[in-house]
Amino acid sequence: MASRAALWFLWLLSLCLTSEILASENDTYSWSNILQLLEAQCVAKRGDEDLEKGKELTHKNYCESWRFNVELHNIKDFNSIPDECASSVGKYMSSSQYKSDVRRVAHEASRFLTNSFRLAGDSRDAWVFDVDDTLISTVPFYKKHHFGDIVDCRSDPPDRASLEKWMAKGKATVIDDMLSLFREINSKGLDIFIISWRPEHLRAATVDNLFKAGYHGWTKLILRCDEESYVDAQSYKSEQRKKLVEQGYRLWGIVGSQWSSLTGHSTAMRTFKLPNPMYYL
Tens-place pLDDT, residues 2-12: 455 555 555 55
The pLDDT tens digits for 64-82 are: 999 999 999 999 999 889 9
Q: What's the pTM value of the predicted model, to 2 decimals?
A: 0.78
pLDDT of residue 150: 57
Least confident range of 49-53, 94-98, 186-190:
49-53
Q: For each of the domains in the chain, give its residue range(s) and CATH number, in order of start.
A: 91-273 (3.40.50.1000)
What's the 3-state SS for 184-239?
A: HHHHCCCEEEEEEEEEHHHHHHHHHHHHHHCCCCCCEEEEECHHHCCCCHHHHHHH
Task: Determine the average pLDDT of the residues in 75-96.
Answer: 94
Of all residues in the chain, the percent with pLDDT exceeding 70 is 77
Measure Cα distances from 105 to 76, 114, 276 in Å. Answer: 22, 14, 13
For the stretch 231-255, pLDDT in tens is 999 999 999 999 999 999 999 999 9
